[in-house]
Amino acid sequence: MRAYGGIRRGRDTVELSHIVGSAGKHDWFDEGFMPLCALSRERWKRIDRAFWLGHKLPPVALYKLGSRYFVKDGHHHVSATRFHGAEWIDAEIKEFMSPADRTCPRASEYHKSAAIPPISYGHVNSSPPLH
């Protein structure tokens, strides 16, 4: 998927159901954001324990593209939070636009020279929904 630019939108609370994929670790997690490898599972257990003990976890870093979000940093946090049935998560958001959006009124806010890192929907073998 190609996307351009990027503008920091700051911190916000995001509905977990709108987080649909990963920017970089799509082969570490399944489509439900559960860890696939042993190393990842150990980190997940530490995040899960912190969640249960009520420790304040830092916001995750998300890329926003349209109405969808992709995890840049905090995959284990997203996974553990989903596992416990939470509906929302605190996030630092950087918004990108697709080539189709380049003529949108806000296009001047974006740096056209930057490109979003590779992103994927859910599991590595999943394909994006067609709209």
Q: What is the pLDDT of residue 111?
A: 39
pTM of the predicted model as reported, rounded to 2 decimal places: 0.73
* pLDDT-based confidence at residue 32 (cuts at 50, 70, 90): confident
Specify the CATH number for the domain of residue 70: 3.90.1530.10
The answer to whether position 31 is within a domain reads yes
- Laid out side by side, the sheet with 60-65 consists of 4-15, 88-97, 60-65, 68-73, 19-22, 120-121
Number of domains, the chain:
1
Q: What is the pLDDT of residue 2?
A: 59
The yes-or-no verdict on residue 15 having pLDDT over 90 is yes
Name the residue range of residue 88's domain. 4-120
Does residue 99 contact residue 2 with C-beta atoms inside 8 Å? yes
The answer to whether position 130 is within a domain reads no
